[in-house]
């Protein structure tokens, strides 16, 4: 890769905007009671995909008599992802049966939203529905021996692997040594001309690196040229650990392991306009979204202008509304964040239209 190509790719990453894709299928299976498939044999739905994404093809895989002997009294159901290359996704999906009244019944949500590649294709439920409940004429789950299966999914392509590296990271060897060189420069503090103070911690840095890597730091340093303590930058709204990780990222381009500082990385990436760092935090929070955390992440998406995280949280709440709206965290949002509540109801209405 030439230096021009590398520079162009870096700019693409800085300007990269994630998108959430959605897809769904309603699959009608006639004469379900006389399906010829035995235990372990499956039916496969017609392919379906998102209108906004041509990279991924989806199928529903149904085992009418269970995928193995232990599940022979159930129907097993899975979502199959088909792509010709390794793909990392964050996704949320659900299956349901549409009963004789046209209502969704037996909604089951796939909890696995982790990244995967093409060797881990199927996600679903081995005991989706008891067969006897389907055939019970009083249940109303089938009309005229016709089973109607539905599947909905929303997902986003990740550009960052679980180890913090970029999916597309094809740099040549000379360029690849630069992060190590800059890391050594940071650790040695040789020729440092500026200090970042975070509570009782001091980080010796170089103005040229800060100014080049962040337009916000560039503005701070310009403003300080003729002021008091021109070589000291005080940061009081983040932990020393988060600031050190940010500085290391500025020098090396290496993304930190988020773990317990993901929310801080979202905030610090937003404040200092470090788009890739912010994107990495967004992806991690999307993966970690649960019923117990979604309200907190929704608030943070509003505070830190994270449109992609906000859309993800709103979609998640719509899919898990039965549980989320009963939580104390949601009640607090109703009291303190009227705008978010309005966004939720607008989003919910648009999804149901």
Residues 204-229: what's their mean pLDDT? 87
For residue 6, name the pLDDT band (cuts at 50, 70, 90).
very low
Mind listing the domains of the chain with CATH numbers? 16-157 (2.60.210.10), 173-282 (3.30.710.10), 289-352 (1.25.40.420)
Note the pLDDT tens digit of each residue in 128-185.
999 999 998 888 899 899 999 999 999 998 876 655 666 554 433 333 445 554 555 6
Does the structure show a pLDDT above 70 at 305? yes
For residue 10, name the pLDDT band (cuts at 50, 70, 90).
very low
Note the pLDDT tens digit of each residue in 67-119.
999 999 999 999 988 876 667 788 899 999 999 888 888 777 665 455 555 55
Label each residue of 97-134 as H, E or C: EECCCCCEEEEEEECCCCCCCCCCCEEEEEEEEEHHHH
CA dist list (Å): 5 to 167, 182, 255? 16, 21, 21
In this prediction, what percent of the chain has a pLDDT beyond 70? 81
Note the pLDDT tens digit of each residue in 41-50.
999 999 999 9
- Residue 252 is predicted with a pLDDT of 86
Does the structure show a pLDDT above 90 at 17? no
- Residue 197 is predicted with a pLDDT of 96
**How much is the mean pLDDT over the chain?**
84
Question: For the ranges 4-8, 226-230, 336-340, 342-346, which has the lowest average pLDDT?
Answer: 4-8
Does the structure show a pLDDT above 90 at 273? yes
- Residue 4 is predicted with a pLDDT of 46
For residue 1, name the pLDDT band (cuts at 50, 70, 90).
very low
308-312 contacts, C-beta under 8 A, 24 or more apart: 308/17, 308/18, 308/19, 308/20, 308/156, 308/282, 309/266, 309/282, 309/285, 310/343, 311/20, 311/347, 312/20, 312/90, 312/154, 312/156, 312/286
**Helix, strand, coil percent content, the chain, rounded in steps of 5:** 40, 25, 35
């Amino acid at each position: 890769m030439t230096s021009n190509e590398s520079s162009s790719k870096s700019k693409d990453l800085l300007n990269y905007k994630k998108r959430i894709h959605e897809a769904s299928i309603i699959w009608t299976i006639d004469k379900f009671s006389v399906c010829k498939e035995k235990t372990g044999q499956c039916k496969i739905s017609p392919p379906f995909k998102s209108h906004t994404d041509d990279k991924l093809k989806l199928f529903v895989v149904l085992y009418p008599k269970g995928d193995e002997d232990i599940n022979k009294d159930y129907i097993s159901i899975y979502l199959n992802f088909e792509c010709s290359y390794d793909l990392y996704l964050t996704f949320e999906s659900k299956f349901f049966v549409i009963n004789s009244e046209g209502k969704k019944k037996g909604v089951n949500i796939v909890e696995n939203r982790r990244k995967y590649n093409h060797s881990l294709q199927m996600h679903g439920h081995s005991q989706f529905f008891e067969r006897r409940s389907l055939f019970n004429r009083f249940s109303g789950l089938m009309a005229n021996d016709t089973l109607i299966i539905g599947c909905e999914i929303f997902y986003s392509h990740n550009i960052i692997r679980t180890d913090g590296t970029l999916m597309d990271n094809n740099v040549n060897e000379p360029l690849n040594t630069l992060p190590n060189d800059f890391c050594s420069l940071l650790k040695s503090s040789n020729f440092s001309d500026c200090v970042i103070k975070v509570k009782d911690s001091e980080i010796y840095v170089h103005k040229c690196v800060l100014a080049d890597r962040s337009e916000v730091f560039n503005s701070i340093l310009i403003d300080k040229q003729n002021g008091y303590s021109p070589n000291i930058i005080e940061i009081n709204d983040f932990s020393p650990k988060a600031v050190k990780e940010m500085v290391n990222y500025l020098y090396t381009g290496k993304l930190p392991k988020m773990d317990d500082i993901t929310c801080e990385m979202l905030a610090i990436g937003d404040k200092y306009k470090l788009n890739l760092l912010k994107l990495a935090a967004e992806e991690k929070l999307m993966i970690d979204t649960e019923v117990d955390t979604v309200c907190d992440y929704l608030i943070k998406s509003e505070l830190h202008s994270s449109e992609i995280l906000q859309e993800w949280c709103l979609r998640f709440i719509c899919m898990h509304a039965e549980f989320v709206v009963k939580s104390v965290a949601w009640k607090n949002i109703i009291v303190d964040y009227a705008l978010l509540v309005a966004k939720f109801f607008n989003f919910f209405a648009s999804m149901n239209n």
